[in-house]
Amino acid sequence: MDGTQADAPLLTIGDLARRTGLPVRTIRYWSETGVVPEATRSAGGHRLYDPAGLARLELVATLRELGLSHAEVRRVLNRENTVAEVAAIHVAALDAQITTLRLRRAVLSAIATGDREEPGHMDHLNRMARLSAQERQQIIDDFAARVCEGLDAEPQVRDRLRGGGHRLPDAPTQEQLDAWLELSEMVQDPEFQQVARRAMEQSTSGQAKTSGAGRSSEPDRHRLFAHNLDRTIGAAMREGIEPDSPRAAEVVDRLLGDPGPERRTAVRDRLRAHLDAGIDERLEHYRRLLALMHGQQPPSPRAALYAWLADAIDAGAGPQPVGQL
């Protein structure tokens, strides 16, 4: 030891315990395992510690309070890992634990405030709360597989179904957790899977019929149609225009344009089928839940717009077959 260390009195385990507040048995265990080695032994064989040993003991105690395991503390002290590296691992682990605890809180809240007390429903919520991030993702992958199986869906659509669209943020709010629980129940419901698949079938059917050089991508076409639908049909509904009125026919013509005499019947039939697939309010609720999970503004409801347009087409609006002109 240097002169400074040599001048400092050596400390017994009891001295260390009084200075740090740690139990004697804990200090003895750390000493026996080499985490806090003694500087020397007394004539009677008792362990004695110098100031460096006291400082090391305080560091070990701090690391243990932060949640590091005995093995991790040894790696830090042996310079196999830095404190920063081990701390980063623990931050990730704590984030996962916090998310799990919040999910469990969301389950209890859903049970406490809901009106469904059947054991099956509560068991589902409880199982969802205990899933790991990988297991949660598997639920979404299974949903995407069932919805897209055998269909020529564009890659970005498949990725959106199985990717970040359903993934919880790293630090989800209670509202986002509630949305995830409800969404997880929806995507495992066979009836909703069929609803989503019918919508995907209509989407890919339209994609196949309109594909070709210079065509915009499927998501771009959907966004453009949704924008025009909100603007055109939404305005008509706000004006109080009835779908079976002559003015409704003008509105639909503005929305759809003239596809040409050869394509009129095909356009009407395809659009009508697409509207039937999109009217289901469960799809709207699904989109609202996705928006909530991402902290975004929920999309404008479209089921009512689809229903108005479908009624208008049934009443004779829109491109007419050549024989009906």
Domain boundary assignment for the chain: 3-81, 131-324
Judged against a pLDDT cut of 90, whether residue 67 lies above it is answered with: no
Question: Which 3-state string (H, E, C) describes the chain?
Answer: CCHHHHHCCCECHHHHHHHHCCCHHHHHHHHHCCCCCCCEECCCCCEEECHHHHHHHHHHHHHHHCCCCHHHHHHHHCCCCCHHHHHHHHHHHHHHHHHHHHHHHHHHHHHHHCCCCCHHHHHHHHHHHCCCHHHHHHHHHHHHHHHHCCCCCCHHHHHHHHCHHHCCCCCCCHHHHHHHHHHHHHHCCHHHHHHHHHHHHHHHHHHHHHCCCCCCCHHHHHHHHHHHHHHHHHHHHHHCCCCCCHHHHHHHHHHHCCCCCCCHHHHHHHHHHHHHHHHCHHHHHHHHHHHHHCCCCCCCCCHHHHHHHHHHHHCCCCCCCHHHC
pLDDT above 90 covers what percent of the chain? 15
For residue 8, what pLDDT is reported?
72
Tokens of 173: 């709010």
For residue 145, what pLDDT is reported?
86
Higher pLDDT, 6 or 138: 138
pLDDT (tens digit per residue) in 196-210:
888 788 767 655 444
Higher pLDDT, 140 or 58: 58
Taking residues 83-90, report their average pLDDT. 78
Tokens 């899977």 locate to: 193
Judged against a pLDDT cut of 70, whether residue 2 lies above it is answered with: no
Higher pLDDT, 304 or 41: 41
Which region among 60-69, 155-164, 184-193 has the lowest average model confidence (pLDDT)? 155-164
For residue 324, what pLDDT is reported?
40
Sequence length of the chain is: 325
For residue 54, what pLDDT is reported?
92
Taking residues 233-254, report their average pLDDT. 87
Provide the mean pLDDT of the chain: 77
Tokens of 269: 């039939």
Which region among 46-50, 118-122, 142-146, 214-218 has the lowest average model confidence (pLDDT)? 214-218
- Class of domain 3-81 (CATH, top level): mainly alpha
pLDDT (tens digit per residue) in 258-316:
666 666 667 767 777 767 665 677 888 888 888 888 888 777 677 788 888 888 888 87
For residue 17, what pLDDT is reported?
94
Higher pLDDT, 254 or 16: 16
Which region among 61-65, 219-223, 249-253 has the lowest average model confidence (pLDDT)? 219-223
For residue 210, what pLDDT is reported?
45
Counting beta carbons within 10 angstroms of the beta carbon of residue 257, is it exposed (0 to 12), middle (13 to 18) or buried (19 or more)? exposed
